[in-house]
């Protein structure tokens, strides 16, 4: 029997062994190929994350391109200047959105300030239109954008206006108030001027499961507002004082930006209420109710252009978008985007944020 197996080149047992070896080699090559592709993508992501704000001189190199919107002349050569549109969408934060191994997508503060830097160098731009769809966000992030807009206007002398969409509340209105003129859609809700700070307390849960909190600290107040100890009314009073100061900062900013309102009038509006567009107009929070073409008309008049080209600066899609379009192309301002950004900012701090916006946004 053994001699017969040796003489037969088509021995089925030998064929099965070869087949197993071939399959193992092919599987190994496939796994290695997948691993190398993942490494390659990670390298691209890291390189992309390390890139700073784009400058006008190397716009294409840094992945930006100027796009002419259909609202302007069909031939850009017919335009007598350009109006730049900048979108401010989602929760306002300085934190990039974490998309896992695909890296991070640009945060609103970087997106806005980067484009303002580009516009400063683009002599064709005669005015800026902010299109805002946001429930607000971090107090510092909102204030940074407010000050960047004020600084941009001072340095360039260009008119800057805002168009509020479905939601432009709290920190989003804070930012809008830095603009020269504010329009709102008839269906806009805005306002919600105020400050919120979140504090959770786990002592009840800890008592239930017999968990004890032990803090070794350098001073009595080092574990101020720790969620693992009982609520201290003295500490709450201290934090309430800080919240009140942040509210005064909000009121000052709106008063500075909205010259038609006295500080007392702004303070009366700063009770956290939301305002429909018509109410916001009556209270002086906005200047006009209208649509995108109305905003273009207002900005054109202020910029002195009769036939402007309407442009945006967009980032080119790279490998991160090809391999991770689901994670990286969530529409800013959607429910999922708001949840993602709230997860980033709610770990600490105070916010100019309308907390109920996630259920109001499409």
| Residues marked as catalytic | 170, 222
Phi, psi of 72 (to 5 degrees): -100, -170
d(CA 239, CA 221): 12
Query: Would strands 125-134 and 160-169 be described as parallel, antiparallel, or unpaired?
Result: parallel
Beta-bridge mates of residue 163: 131, 183
Q: Which residues, 6 or more positions from 92, have their beta carbon under 8 angstroms from its beta carbon?
A: 108, 109, 134, 136, 137, 138, 141, 142, 145, 171, 172, 175, 352
**Residue 28 DSSP label:** H
Measured CA distances, 186 to 111, 254, 281 (Å):
27, 22, 10
Query: Contact 167/357 with Cβ under 8 angstroms?
Result: yes
d(CA 321, CA 65): 16
Query: Contact 293/23 with Cβ under 8 angstroms?
Result: no
d(CA 19, CA 335): 51
Which spans in the chain are helix H?
2-7, 12-50, 108-121, 139-156, 171-176, 203-209, 233-257, 263-269, 277-282, 292-303, 319-323, 325-328, 335-345
Q: Which residues, 6 or more positions from 312, have their beta carbon under 8 angstroms from its beta carbon?
A: 66, 67, 69, 84, 85, 86, 87
What single string gives the DSSP state of each residue in 153-219? HHHH---EEEEEEEEEETHHHHHHTTSSEEEE-TT-EEE--S-EE-----HHHHHHHT-------SS
d(CA 211, CA 204): 10
């Amino acid at each position: 029997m053994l001699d017969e197996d040796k003489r037969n080149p088509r021995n089925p047992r030998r064929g099965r062994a070869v087949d197993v070896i071939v399959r193992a080699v092919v599987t190994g090559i496939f796994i290695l190929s997948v691993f190398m592709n993942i490494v390659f993508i990670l390298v691209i992501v890291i390189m992309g994350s390390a890139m700073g704000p784009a400058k006008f001189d190397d716009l294409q190199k840094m992945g930006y391109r100027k796009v002419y919107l259909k609202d302007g002349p069909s031939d850009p050569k017919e335009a007598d200047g350009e109006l730049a549109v900048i979108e401010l969408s989602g929760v306002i934060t300085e934190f990039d959105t974490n998309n896992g191994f695909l890296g991070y997508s640009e945060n609103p503060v970087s997106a806005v300030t980067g484009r303002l830097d580009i516009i400063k160098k683009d002599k064709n731009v005669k005015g800026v239109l902010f299109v805002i769809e946001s429930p607000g966000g971090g107090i510092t992030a909102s204030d940074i954008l407010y000050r960047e807009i004020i600084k941009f206007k001072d340095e360039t002398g260009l008119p800057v206006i805002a168009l509020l969409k479905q939601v432009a509340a709290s920190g989003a209105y804070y930012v809008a108030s830095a603009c020269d003129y504010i329009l709102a859609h008839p269906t806009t809700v805005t306002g919600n001027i105020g400050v919120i700070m979140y504090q959770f307390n786990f002592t009840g849960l800890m008592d239930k499961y017999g968990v004890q909190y032990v803090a070794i600290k350098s001073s009595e107040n080092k574990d101020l507002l720790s969620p693992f100890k009982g609520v201290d009314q003295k500490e709450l009073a201290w934090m309430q004082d800080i919240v009140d100061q942040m509210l005064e900062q909000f009121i000052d900013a709106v008063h500075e930006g909205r010259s038609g309102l006295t500080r007392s009038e702004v303070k009366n509006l700063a009770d956290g209420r939301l305002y429909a567009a018509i109410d916001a107009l009556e209270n002086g929070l906005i200047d006009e109710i209208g649509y995108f073409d109305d905003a273009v008309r207002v900005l054109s008049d202020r910029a002195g252009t009769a036939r402007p080209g309407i442009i945006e600066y967009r980032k080119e899609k790279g490998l991160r978008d090809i391999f991770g379009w689901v994670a990286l192309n969530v529409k800013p301002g959607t429910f999922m985007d708001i949840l993602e950004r709230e997860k980033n900012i709610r770990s600490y701090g105070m916010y100019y944020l309308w907390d109920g916006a996630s259920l109001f946004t499409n």
